[in-house]
Amino acid sequence: MARMCVKSRRLDVARVCLGNMGNARAARALRDAEKEPEVEAQVAVLATQLGMLEDAERLYKSCGRFDLLNKFYQAAGQWQQAVETAETHDRIHLRTTYYSYAKHLEAMGDKNLALVYFEKSDTHRFEVPRMLMEDNLSLEIYINKMKDKDLYKWWGHYLESQSDMEAALHYYDLAQDYLSQVRVHCYLGNIQKASEIANETGNRAASYHVARQYEGQDEISQSVHFYTRAQAYNNAIRLCKENNLDEQLMNLALLSNPEDMMDTAMYYEEKGTHMDRAVMLYHKAGHVSKALELAFATEQFGALQLIAEDLNENSDPALLARCSDFFIKHAQYQKAVELLVAAKKYHEALQLCLDQSLTITEDLAESLTVPKDSSHLSEAGRKELLEKIADCCMRQGNYHLATKKYTQAGNKIKAMRALLKSGDTEKIVFFAGVSRQKEIYVMAANYLQSLDWRNDPEIMKNIIGFYTKGRALDLLAGFYEACAEVEIDDYQNYEKAYGALTEACKCLTKAKGRSGDEADSKLLILTHRLSLVKKFIQARRMHEEDPAEAVRVCESLLEEKDLDPAVRVGDVYGFLVEHYCHHGNFQQAWSKIEELRSTRPNINLSLYVSQTSLEALQNAAGVRLLYRDTNTHVAEDDEEVEEDENINH
């Protein structure tokens, strides 16, 4: 019935059958097998207990439990199948399988094959000597053949236990076991050879052993040397103290740990000699305050400078202040400032910078800047300090840093003034854009007007934008007037000038309610200028259709008392001269030139009259006019013409 349960895999029925059979061992094995997740593995255990080995093997293979199959083969004495299974499917248990097989072979008396599998399981270093212990000759041959350092060392220990020191030394040498070599040499009384080995190899354990031997023989210098080689600095320090070797003591303490440094520093301090060394050791050990106190007490100024390098904001404020006073006394102001900053004495540090004309770098300015949530200064005090830093930067010409500090202090007006002094147009435009304050917009626009805005449309756009955002309409009107003058003076473009003046009138109209009578008077003047420009533009436009009316308008413009600067007198006369020359009335044209020259003696005609008209006028008059410097006279055809202006042909 239990065998049928293997075929049907009814483990519940199998338990009943095993109970009725009284097979307690099989029942226990089946109960232990319940922890396996695969049903096939559990059934395989049942099959094994019932002697159905082929079925068990098949079941283990079907569920892929090669680890259990490996154990099954080992329990069944099928070692070759167990090794093959471990090599192909169960490599995690490969070395264990090799070891178990080697133990089996040793039990069967096949030591040669057991030796092979002990090597494969990597347990030969202790299992093979154990196995061959009774056959020393075979063991020695095996060790020499393997050339393994661990085996050499083991064999050396064995020979040493047999009092064969020379042979033991040979194998210790092969194993590179320097400690054992030194130990044997010292036992044999050959400490000189032991010292050579320790020096040549630098082995710490060997050096320590030699040092202990020398210490036992009261050879202190040699003992200190080998303790140092072994990095056993506390032992070396102990010997130096006991034997007053102060020169070596300092170097050893510096190589050792902070506790030894402190101990050595206290030793120097108690003796009252080499106080500079005591200060240095306290410093190296991390006891900065103690080092400083001792340095001040013994006036070790060189040591003070070194210690001050490690002082920071976490140090004792009283010590920091004391060190800063020391550096001020010795004219080392930069270091004194750093210590004052570390001690949170920001105003004193800044005052020292001012008194000694120290350059405030960006790093120093940042260290002087107190964080917003600091408990050392109130918010008002913090802003005051920032403004003082910025003022100092302004005096030193570091305008960008001054701008930064003024901004951090919340004083954007002063920040903008600092930035204007720097002349950095890009940053000025950016700062004005992000500040969003009327005054700053106006300041930026005023600055931009000092640049070449005539040839840079972007600058002109920013000027108009900033004046508009700053609501400085009167200033914007003035800028538009300047634009109109440029168009007239440089390009004789009265149409664009008229547009600019129109915009200026709009601005003044808006500003009239704010500025009162002053804006009204400016607006009247500007309106009159606009009307004059408009008349001149209309005259030039109607010339082709109604020349007579155009001439009449120009003549009426010339009668205006305040024609300039709205319309240049030369442009009006030039228009009339061009008109008369075009219609062949050279006599009238000539009279207009004379009239212009009488009102503007130093005027340059070529700026207002075209070269073609001038040449036509000269040819008609039968003279050639050379316009040079003022009061130059040239005669042709027995006629002398006085010229007061140079015309560029």
d(CA 284, CA 301): 17
Between 617 and 313, where is the model more confident?
Answer: 617
Cα-flanking dihedrals φ and ψ of residue 639, to 5°? -115, 140
Mean pLDDT, the chain, integer: 79
Identify the residue whose tokens are 């196995």: 131
Q: With 60 as the cut, is the pLDDT of residue 633 above it?
A: no
Answer yes or no: is pLDDT of 502 > 70: yes
Determine the Cα–Cα distance for residues 575 and 592; give it in Å rounded to an integer: 10
pLDDT at 186 over 80: yes
Separation between Cα atoms, residue 262 and residue 30, nearest integer Å: 69
What is the pLDDT at residue 35? 86
pLDDT of residue 330: 61
- Tell me the whole-structure pTM to 2 decimals: 0.48
Q: What are 323-376's pLDDT values in tens digits? A: 777 666 666 666 677 667 666 677 777 777 777 766 777 777 776 677 776 666
Per-residue confidence (pLDDT) for residue 305, from 0 to 100: 61
**Residue 627: per-residue pLDDT:** 40
* Residue 515 phi, psi (nearest 5): -95, -15
Other CB atoms within 10 A of residue 451 CB? 15
Q: Are 311 and 320 in contact (CB under 8 A)?
A: yes
Most confident of the following: 171-175, 283-287, 306-310, 553-557: 171-175
Q: Which pLDDT score, from 0 to 100, does residue 303 have?
A: 67
Reported as a single tens digit per residue, the pLDDT across 110-158 is 888 988 888 899 888 888 888 888 888 888 888 888 888 888 898 899 8
Contact between 409 and 383 (Cβ < 8 Å): yes
pLDDT surpassing 60 at residue 107 = yes
Reply yes or no on whether the pLDDT at 625 is more than 60: no
Structure tokens at 91: 């490599």
For 427-470, write each residue's pLDDT tens digit: 888 888 777 778 888 888 888 877 777 777 787 887 888 777 87
% of residues, the chain, pLDDT over 90: 8
Confidence of residue 635 (pLDDT cuts 50, 70, 90): very low
pLDDT confidence band for 204 (50 / 70 / 90): very high
CA distances from 295 to 252, 270, 304, 306, 308 (A): 22, 15, 6, 11, 11
- Quote the CA–CA distance of 590 and 567 in Å, as a whole number: 22
Omega of the bond prior to 258 within 30 degrees of 0, cis?
no
pLDDT of residue 435: 77
Q: What is the pLDDT of residues 34-66, one digit of tens each?
A: 888 888 888 888 888 888 888 888 888 888 888
pLDDT in tens, 229-286: 998 888 988 888 888 887 788 888 888 888 888 888 888 778 777 777 777 777 777 6
Q: What is the CA radius of gyration of the chain?
A: 55
- Using CA atoms, how far residue 549 sits from 405, 451, 531, 540, 578, in Å, is 66, 43, 17, 10, 15
Burial class of 425 by CB neighbour count within 10 A (0 to 12, 13 to 18, 19+): middle
Among the listed residues 67, 50, 69, the one whose alpha carbon sits nearest the alpha carbon of residue 58: 69
Q: Which of 82-96, 167-181, 598-612 has the lowest mean pLDDT?
A: 598-612
Residue 33, C-beta contacts closer than 8 angstroms, at least 6 positions apart: 41, 42, 45, 46
Predicted confidence at residue 4, as pLDDT, reads: 86
Q: What is the pLDDT of residue 99?
A: 92
pLDDT of residue 322: 67
Dig out the tokens for 442 from the structure. 């106006």
Q: Residues 10-41: pLDDT tens digits?
A: 878 888 888 888 888 888 988 888 888 888 88
